[in-house]
Amino acid sequence: MPQKQIIKPEGSAPAVGPYNHAVRVGDMLFCSGQIPIDPADPKAAFPADVTAQTERVLKNVGLILKDQGLDYTNVIKSTVFLTDLGEFADMNAVYQKYFTADFPARSTIQVAALPLGAKVEIEIIAAY
């Protein structure tokens, strides 16, 4: 079995629990769910709207990808967690700015709540 490598990108917001930003195993990167924490001010309140939150979440995903020499085109699967599926279109409008072609497989799930009161969380799997 390939050895796992723990990924803690410099410049990312600290994890809010006992987990790592991502784990690499072989040529696969498994990224923990990202919420809209601003790495420049981790204690700042989240933006109120799902559009701004999705933008911050995908920038956080991008920091992890960049740290590993990857970009959004390397993402093969994403899972989006929303507290309100009524905001799907707003989230999707931002999502499609980051994933523009050869889209990853995706699941979108409504959940009762997310950490720290976030409206959106996104996790990804990427390939090297």
Distance CA 46, CA 54 (A): 11
Cα angle value 50/64/80 (rounded, 5°): 35
| pLDDT tens-place string over residues 39-65 | 999 999 999 999 999 999 999 999 999
Name the residue range of residue 101's domain: 4-127
Please state, as a whole number, how many other Cβ atoms lie within 10 Å of the Cβ of residue 72.
19
Q: What is the distance of C-alpha 25 from the center of its chain?
A: 18
Spans of the chain, pLDDT less than 50:
none
Amino acid identity at 29: L
pTM: 0.96
Task: Specify the pLDDT at position 1.
Answer: 73
Q: What's the domain count of the chain?
A: 1
In Å, how far are 98, 109, 114 from 42, measured between CA atoms?
A: 23, 25, 16
Distance CA 100, CA 109 (A): 21
CATH number at residue 49: 3.30.1330.40
Tokens linked to 73: 């085109």
